[in-house]
Structure 1
Amino acid sequence: MKKIHYLLFLLLSTSMFSQEKLSLETCYSLLNKNYPLAKQSDILAKQNELDLAAISNIKLPTLELGAQTTYQSDVTQMPISIPNTTVESPNKDQYKATLSVNQLIYKGGFIDATAKVSQASLKTQQKQVEVTLYQLKKQVNTYFFLVVLFNEKMELLRAKKTMLEAKLNEVKAGIKFGALLPTSDYVIEAEVLKIKQQLEALSLNKSSLIKSLAQLIGTPISTHTEFENPTITTDFNTDLERPELALFQLQKEQIETSEKLLSKQNSPNIIGFATGGYGNPGLNMLDNSFQTFYQVGVKLNWNIFDWNANKKQRESLLINKEIVENQEAVFQLNTAIELQQKQTEINKLSNLINSDLKIIELRKKILKSAESQLKNGVITSAAYITEVTNLFEAENNLQTHKIEMLLEKANYNTIKGN
């Protein structure tokens, strides 16, 4: 039964878009969900949990078991003799086993600062993942609108083919009744065959694009899926909302937390300890026998001079912060230039579309006149085909410019961060 459910699930997932419409926004959503890199944010979060747990464990007491046996060439001896008293010298072979407990009492905030660095690093890495995914949106735009463009081209070709097939029937009727030359239908038949070739080539290219888009968004797409032709509006201002800007800010914050960590690196460490042991000799060096012993106390470690190594590391971090600020300024400048270029391209395409509409109106009038002339035998079918092709090219240019403008608008919004 489980196998049947699994097969049904695969079947449903495979035909997910077989009967549905696919929008550009849906592609964006699927990209962020299914692209392999998207899983890295959760992986980084799990890794950070382990890092924070390890950092927190520094506050816990540590146990250290030690054992040693030694043989030495000489031992401590009494420099004087005491009457009626025998003082034995320790054995040259000595044995000792100890168990020590150390508890960190004070470390100058170093542990908390280390945890903050780890958290800042996690946020930066996760934002980098988001930036990488966002940069793939341009690739999605290209695939999506190329498919839309191919669909429009194929629709135009089918319309042209239908019109020529109807005209072919008229021409054959004219040949039959002697109104047209016997070979007039050959030119139209050849053009119909040429259109079939073009449709086949476009279909293959479209299938290849759909496969590439499906791989990118991690979801199978049927060749019968309808790609929605979106309405895209653009606001021509320079206010950026790119995730890269947030990444630059997080990188600077990470540098600041690292600098704070370095400032606490040379703080004094206060450690409480207790050591119990068994050995020969014990703490009493004059008692030449196995004894138990213990020590308890507090110790202070403080590196009060490191030849300014810590100071130089902190200065280096501040330079890194300046580098990030410089990268941010370069990014904003390059993005502003790119937006200006896209805006110019959009305006150019808008003008071309207006010209295309006027050209199409003129081409329709010319073709209407050519149809009448062909019917009356004034022009050849080849001349008629030329006018049909001219109208088709004008309509094709219009659709191409419309889709190109949609692509440029989508890329403009992507560059801007919308």
Structure 2
Amino acid sequence: MKFPFFRKKHASLAMTIMLVAGSISIASSGLASAASSYDAAVLADQPVGYWPLAPGVTTDSSGNGLNGSFTGSPTTETMPNGDAAPGFNGIDQYFTIPDHDLLEVTNTGILTVEAWMRPDVLEFPKSESSGYVHWMGKGEPGQHSWVARMYSFTNTENRPNRISGYSFNMSGGLGAGSYFQDAVTPGEWIHYTLTINTVDVSSSYPTGYTKIFKNGVLRDQDSLLGYNIIPGDGTAPMRIGTRNLVSFFQGAIGKVAVYDYELTSAQLNQHVNEMHTANIENTLQKIHETAAIESVTNDELDRTVDLYRDAEQKLGALPAYLDKAALKEQLAAAEESLFNAIKAYMASPQPGNKDRASERLLDFVIAHAIAELDAQSPGDAGSVQGYVMSIVRSHATGQHVKQLIVKQLAN
């Protein structure tokens, strides 16, 4: 078993565990529940409406009482942090929030809409107009406000899988909007943010602007004046999965928030990082807690090695746009803490086969030794064996340890 994030001589690495305000709860399935640290991070930024969203979870967590309801029975999908999210079938399933002034640009002159979306197809089965779906928005004939749009790969405007957001005049027609157009991988989560701002005007944006962010990064900004957009206070409900029941999104949507101000890039990046890293950080914290147990058992250490492997795999699978340097240091510090706990456990003689160290622990110690000694090939097995046997002592035979070493070095 290889542990690719092991590094030589990292015992001096400082460990920093970030504890986010708010409670962390774990559901019986082992996945993070709706009361996750991501939710705490969003609520700290004071949205006027926040719907964590999951099948059966319809409440507004902002405290403003903008509760919604599902039409149809979406499936339960899993977000990057382990939280649940509804999966919509692209035909007739959606979520509705009744009309409220807090959902309009006119409330303060600024509206920011944030959501996580996961398109599961590149061609939507129930699209409209040139070949797009309105996957979220507030608008009906004569009562248009704003919308989040995604194009199918094939459309008559040559906009393959463009993702955009628009502000409209109440009467409808062409809207002013911003977009990003990148290759889309079905099943991949995207953090989406649309801002409509009529307050912060300038010579470039005399009546305001729209902005769109992807994964916390500003991708486009456009003037409202280009289409003479003056947002109004409409009466249409806000819907997720569709806007006005003409086109429908196939995929998952979760963690939808509405704000009455413009969020900074720093705030959005915090949300993105929290979604992807909170589970890893919580796992690393558990490793340190188990390693600190004075009379830890082989079974407890076995489970902790599994936690380490899980954190290692999740770190390796993080999106490329995230900065992983701090997490790699935290992982290395957790590995060192776990190694020292295993070393202390093995310092006590354990006569009898039933008390000998499990192969899982031996693999962990061997991987540490290989990284520490910078062993490269089976020819280095002798030096690694001497290092490992000085730690495992009576917990394993030299012959068995050598077999495991050669196996790891051969890989």
TM-score (norm 1): 0.22
Q: Which has the larger radius of gyration?
A: 1
Query: Where is the strand percentage greater, Structure 1 or Structure 2?
Result: 2
- Greater length-normalized contact order (CA 8 Å, ≥ 6 residues apart): 1
